[in-house]
């Protein structure tokens, strides 16, 4: 089975690195402590610019022209235009709990309903949910790459509706990146990690993951 290998680790531009996106040239990183989205040169990992996007930022996606930024506890996904720094549009997912991740596939968004354990295919034009796939609770960000969804995960966990938080189930604590078939939600592969990835972005054959607890951005490769 293929394995993930860390090639390099970098200090994140902020103290709460979450969602990641790749636009073909630059890496973008959303930070929930600063409420900003940072554009990074992958060659130097220096910040080229930042976009203020107030709120508890979580997942991040690129659609070929604009960024899509999920706000974790607001039920929103904002379309952020990096050419103007404007919010062009807002997707409302008001009844889907915490939105921890977002990805772009062709003409629609995927969103992670972290509390309810669901992956939502969403029409960005009218916020309609096109279909729903089952997913583990306590998932993080995701990306769409080479026909599959790639989802960060901490497991086994359950959501406590009284205390509004996640609890470990049992004594073991695991982290992984899941490869998921978007047609039916089937798990294709599970790649072990040592941390919970709150940001996931493929840049060609290179994978980028963010580790909020360690304030790091990791560059990884998948061995065949």
pLDDT digits (tens, 9 = 90+) for 182-195: 999 999 999 999 99
| Residue 156: cis peptide before it, omega within 30 degrees of 0 | yes
pLDDT digits (tens, 9 = 90+) for 135-166: 999 999 999 999 999 999 999 988 888 888 88
Give the per-residue pLDDT at 102. 98
Give the per-residue pLDDT at 17. 97
pLDDT digits (tens, 9 = 90+) for 57-107: 999 999 999 999 999 988 999 999 999 999 999 999 989 999 999 999 999
Q: What's the number of CA atoms in the CB half-sphere (13 Å) around residue 104? A: 24
Q: How far apart are CA 112 and CA 114, in angstroms?
A: 6
| Residue 48 φ then ψ, to 5° | -90, -35
Q: Which residues contact 93 (CB under 8 A, 6 or more apart)?
A: 75, 76, 77, 99, 111, 113, 120, 122, 127, 129
For residue 170, name the pLDDT band (cuts at 50, 70, 90).
confident
Q: Which domains does the chain have, with CATH numbers?
A: 3-223 (2.130.10.10)
Name the β-bridge partners of 78.
Answer: 69, 90
For residue 121, name the pLDDT band (cuts at 50, 70, 90).
very high
Mean pLDDT value across the chain: 94
**Residue 9 pLDDT more than 90?**
yes
pTM of the model: 0.95
Q: Is 215 left (phi over 0), alpha (psi -120 to 50) or beta?
A: left
**Residue 1 pLDDT more than 70?**
no
Q: Is 24 left (phi over 0), alpha (psi -120 to 50) or beta?
A: left
Beta strands in 169-215 (DSSP E): 174-180, 187-193, 199-203, 206-211
Mean pLDDT of 164-177: 89
């Amino acid at each position: 089975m293929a394995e993930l290998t860390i090639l390099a680790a970098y200090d994140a531009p902020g103290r709460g690195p979450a969602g990641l996106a790749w636009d073909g040239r630059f890496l973008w990183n959303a930070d929930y402590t600063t409420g900003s989205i940072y554009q990074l040169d992958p060659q130097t990992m220096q910040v080229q610019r930042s976009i203020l996007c107030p709120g508890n930022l979580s997942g991040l996606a690129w659609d070929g022209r604009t960024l899509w930024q999920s706000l974790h506890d607001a039920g929103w996904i904002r379309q952020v235009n990096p050419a103007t720094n404007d919010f062009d549009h807002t997707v409302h997912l008001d009844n889907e709990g915490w939105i921890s991740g977002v990805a772009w596939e062709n003409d629609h968004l995927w969103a992670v309903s972290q509390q309810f354990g669901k992956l939502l295919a969403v029409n960005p034009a009218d916020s309609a949910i096109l279909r729903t796939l089952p997913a583990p609770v306590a998932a993080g960000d995701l990306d769409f790459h080479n026909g599959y969804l790639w989802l960060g995960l901490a497991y086994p966990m359950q959501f406590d509706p009284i205390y509004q938080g996640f609890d470990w189930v049992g004594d073991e604590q695991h982290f992984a990146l899941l490869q998921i078939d978007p047609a039916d939600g089937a798990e294709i592969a599970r790649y072990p990690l040592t941390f919970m990835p709150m940001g996931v972005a493929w840049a060609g054959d290179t994978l980028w993951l963010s580790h909020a607890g360690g304030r790091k951005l990791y560059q990884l490769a998948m061995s065949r």
